[in-house]
Chain A
Amino acid sequence: METINFLITGVGGQGTVLASEIMAAVGFAAGYDVKKSDLLGLSVRGGAVLSHVRWGEIVYSPIVPEGRVDYLIAFEELEALRHLGQVKSTGTILMNQQKIFPVLVSSGLAEYPTDEVIEESLRKTSKNVHEIPAVELALKVGNSKVLNIVLLGAISALFNIDPKIWEEVIKERVPKKYVDLNIKAFNEGRNWMKGE
């Protein structure tokens, strides 16, 4: 089989690292060889975060080679745009509909790309684009912080992996008192994707 390449990107504090851990663990539990690599900023909040996850028969490099991303999972719109060049023309993009202004933008030193630019760039990159209102879906189950699990729920709908495997992996990695909330978030995302 061909190795499946995921690129997960977002802003520090959005829960991308946990999401990449779960993606790797699910692939591993489903029987794939798995490698993952995180590129973390400083320990300060608000920097860009990037994770590579690869599932395959034998995976050598932990880094997805340039331009060979099968699934771009973007937690933030500007960070999605930044990595479009990595996506294969046959690749799939899952983008959380959320704009987080970098300080350069909020202080008026730079402009955030317009919705037109965002839409056009996404269209140019791939036919398979899913724009997910993950914050809204997360709030619906009770807390905007679980937007990362909503997005995982959405991507889970694209794979023929038993949802129980996803749920088990999530349970192992979130605090006990938030297990129910996270499972709800997972199903919310999964159902949204199925209904799309």
Chain B
Amino acid sequence: MKKLMTGNEALARGAYEAGVKVATGYPGTPSSEILENIVQYKEIYAEWSTNEKVATEAAIGAAYAGQRSITTMKQVGMNVAADAFFFAVYTGVRAGLVIVVADDPGMFSSQNEQDNRHYAPFAKMPLLEPSDSQEAKDFVKIALEMSEEWDVPVLYRTCMRVAHSASPVEIGERNWDDEKIPEKWVRDQDKYVCSAMLAKKKRPMIEDRLIKLVDVSNKISINRLEWGDRKLGIIASGPVYHYAREIFPNATFLKLGMTYPLPEGLIRELAAGVDQVMVIEELDPFIEQQVKAMGINCIGKDIFPRYGELLTGDIERACAKAGIIPWEKVAEQRDVTPENLPGRSPVLCPGCPHRSTFYNLAKMKDVIIVSDIGCYNLGALAPFYATDFMGSMGAGFGVAHGFEIGGIEKTGQKIIGIVGDSTFFHNGVTPLLNMVHNGSNVTLMVLDNSTTAMTGHQDHPGVDYTLRGKGTRVDIEKMVRAIGVEHVLKANAFDVKSVDSAIKEGLNHDGLSFIIVEGPCFFVGNNLKPAYTVTSNCNGCGTCFKLGCSAIARSDIVDEKTGRRKSSIDPVLCVGCGICAQVCPRKAIVSTQAS
């Protein structure tokens, strides 16, 4: 039976059909839906782990225990996980282990663009890349079998256009004995203890394995030569294969599903059979450089861009410029869209608990706001423009400490470090320990909205549920006090003054201050209240627009004295958080319940 599935749904189905027993991960676009789909298969233990390294280690341990395992992460999560999977290449596994990373060419939701294929030669493990949903499903089984046969974790690299695109998938069944208990563990220090002395002995085997895997790559069915017109031989993998196929329906293709190690034999066969080899790949010249190192001349990044997505139009334009296709064939936008259309950038939702924090921070002078990754990064945008930095998970604390030891406070500027609750658990605890130990004197804030909001409301250690059900809640305040922070303050996110006074008290305190701003995300808090409305007292001063709430708009009614357009509140969008009523200097905003 065929079914339309997204790449992430199909990947989850593939894990189910192939007998995966353990799935771990940390949410991150575009990978989050993989575990959210896996959890529907009760045969698989699934968890959101605290970060990608923890998730990878858990999956490695489960593979040691003898269960087929996968771990999932977004592109930058791979950097966090790296420390774990490098050693797993040395130890090998007892059951299949697949490390799934979802890349983000075009940077739709990431702080940097990176081509994670490089991790395969870097860590010395094989690499598979699906191009559509069918392959997203099928490649899980292939990866697990390869992992078991070669005793190595397999890197499975998907990307946004595979993860979030849907295409037909042939559904199969799970042929797996779920009652089977793993084989007893037998101590094997030569294999599993990665001390320098023991690990060193394995170095030759690791290099030797890569050489043998070239032969696998030559023979594996997911690497195939599709002979056509002999003028052009195109090497492509991932979704780019489909874009290129559409442009060159009659060309010869080497379609690669396994991209490390590369199938040198097939590549030489292709080169011998066509006039010109062309490598079309998104981001870095990963395949191209290896092809050139084989002594094979090819077209590649000399005509194609090295960054961003490489969609049909991009490929066609590059090929037309190089004289490979006529310009008439190039897909281009028509010149009919009016200029200067207003953008529609994301804003904090109506009822968002972060609004009060950024409203207050936007008014502060001589304070460096070192922020982090999550919905609260929208505090960097209009109308707040309230932050100075955003980099990587946990850096909101780590970099704040760096500003301090760099001596910036001698300029009269103070420092606030901000992380969200999920980010705090992910990688904010270790910089906090560092600051406590080294006697830091900055103000730290955790914006605790009781969820991992930006990626779709996943759990984290600070809530009392897990992906599979009930969980134990870790109390941030108790934890922080136990670490040794003495000056801990709490503020109510829905009380603008409470947040303001906590920040001021934190900044005035001599020593490390830790502010927990509490208020659940609207989507997990069930806090729908009657909408607010604007009374005739409004004179159009515009204070409420500084909240960046999409429920508040300028109306067409002009105040006679000020000549300014008055505010209005959309009763459908407003969820009744009341923050606008708190900041209105004329008390012109009231609850419809009260009125």
Asked whether, in the complex, the Cβ of A46 is within 8 Å of the Cβ of B161, the reply is no
Please encode chain A, from 92 to 104, with 1 for each CB lying within 8 Å of some chain B CB and 0 for all others.
0000000001111
In the bound complex, do residue B4 and residue A107 qualify as a contact, i.e. CB atoms below 8 Å apart? Answer: no
Q: Which residues of B contact A110 (CB under 8 A)?
A: 342-343
> B181 on the interface (CB 8 Å rule)?
no
Question: Which of B165, B341, B342, B347 interacts with A37 by CB under 8 Å?
Answer: B165
CB neighbours (8 Å) of A104 from chain B are: 342-345, 382
Decide yes or no whether B488 CB sits under 8 A from chain A: no
Cα–Cα, bound, A79→B337 (Å): 11
Cα distance, A48 to B167, chains bound together (Å): 23
B548 and chain A: residue at smallest CB distance: A103
Chain B 348-385 residues near chain A, CB threshold 8 A: 348-350, 352, 375, 378, 382-383
CB distance from B94 to the nearest CB of A (A): 37
Task: Please determine whether A121 and B336 come into contact, CB atoms closer than 8 angstroms.
Answer: yes
- How distant is A69 from chain B, measured CB to nearest CB, in Å? 10
A121–B338 CB distance below 8 A: yes
The yes or no answer to B591 lying at the interface (CB within 8 A) is: no
B333 touches A42 (CB 8 A): no
**A62 at interface, CB cutoff 8 A:** yes
- Interface size, chain B (Cβ < 8 Å): 56
In this assembly, does A191 line the interface, its C-beta being within 8 Å of a C-beta of chain B?
no
A158 an interface residue at 8 Å Cβ cutoff? no
Interface assignment of B456: CB less than 8 Å from any CB of chain A? yes
Provide the residues of chain B in CB contact with A44, threshold 8 Å: 346-349, 352, 375, 378, 454
A77-94 vs B, CB cutoff 8 Å, 1 = contact: the mask equals 011011111110100000
Q: Is the CB of B166 within 8 A of A24?
A: yes
Q: B353 → chain A, closest Cβ, in Å?
A: 13
Query: B344 and A47: CB pair below 8 A?
Result: yes
Whether A107 and B312, one on each chain, are in contact in the complex, defined by CB atoms closer than 8 angstroms, is no
Inter-chain contact B337/A67, CB cutoff 8 Å? no
CA distance A65 to B349 in the complex (A): 33
B550 adjacent to A46 (CB under 8 Å): yes
B contact residues around A25 at 8 Å (CB): 4
Within 8 Å of chain A (Cβ to Cβ): is B413?
no
Q: How does the 8 Å CB contact mask read for A19-62 relative to B, with 1 for contact and 0 for none?
A: 00100110010000111111111111111100000000001111
Count of A interface residues, CB-CB < 8 Å? 57
> Smallest CB-CB separation from A28: which chain B residue?
B4
- Name B331's contact: one of A68, A84, A101, A125 (CB within 8 Å): A68
A34 and B168 within 8 A (CB): yes
How distant is the Cα of A87 from the Cα of B336 in the complex, in angstroms?
A: 9
Give the shortest distance, in Å, between A153 (CB) and chain B (any CB): 21
Residue of A nearest to B374 (CB): A42
Nearest opposing residue in chain B for A11, CB measure: B344
Partner of A61, one of B4, B109, B242, B334: B242
Whether A106 and B552, one on each chain, are in contact in the complex, defined by CB atoms closer than 8 angstroms, is yes
The smallest beta-carbon distance between A33 and chain B, in angstroms, is 7
**In the complex, are the beta carbons of A85 and B342 less than 8 A apart?**
no
CB<8 Å pairs between A and B, sample of 24 = A35-B165, A35-B166, A36-B4, A45-B349, A47-B345, A48-B344, A59-B167, A60-B243, A61-B246, A62-B161, A63-B165, A67-B333, A68-B331, A78-B341, A78-B342, A82-B341, A84-B337, A85-B334, A85-B335, A86-B334, A104-B343, A106-B550, A107-B553, A108-B545
Apart from A61-B246, A65-B313, A85-B336, list 11 A-B contacts with CB within 8 A: A11-B344, A35-B166, A37-B165, A39-B108, A40-B164, A42-B346, A44-B454, A46-B346, A61-B242, A104-B343, A108-B565
The 10 closest A-B pairs by CB, nearest first: A106-B553, A85-B333, A65-B331, A110-B342, A62-B165, A66-B313, A65-B312, A37-B165, A60-B242, A107-B545
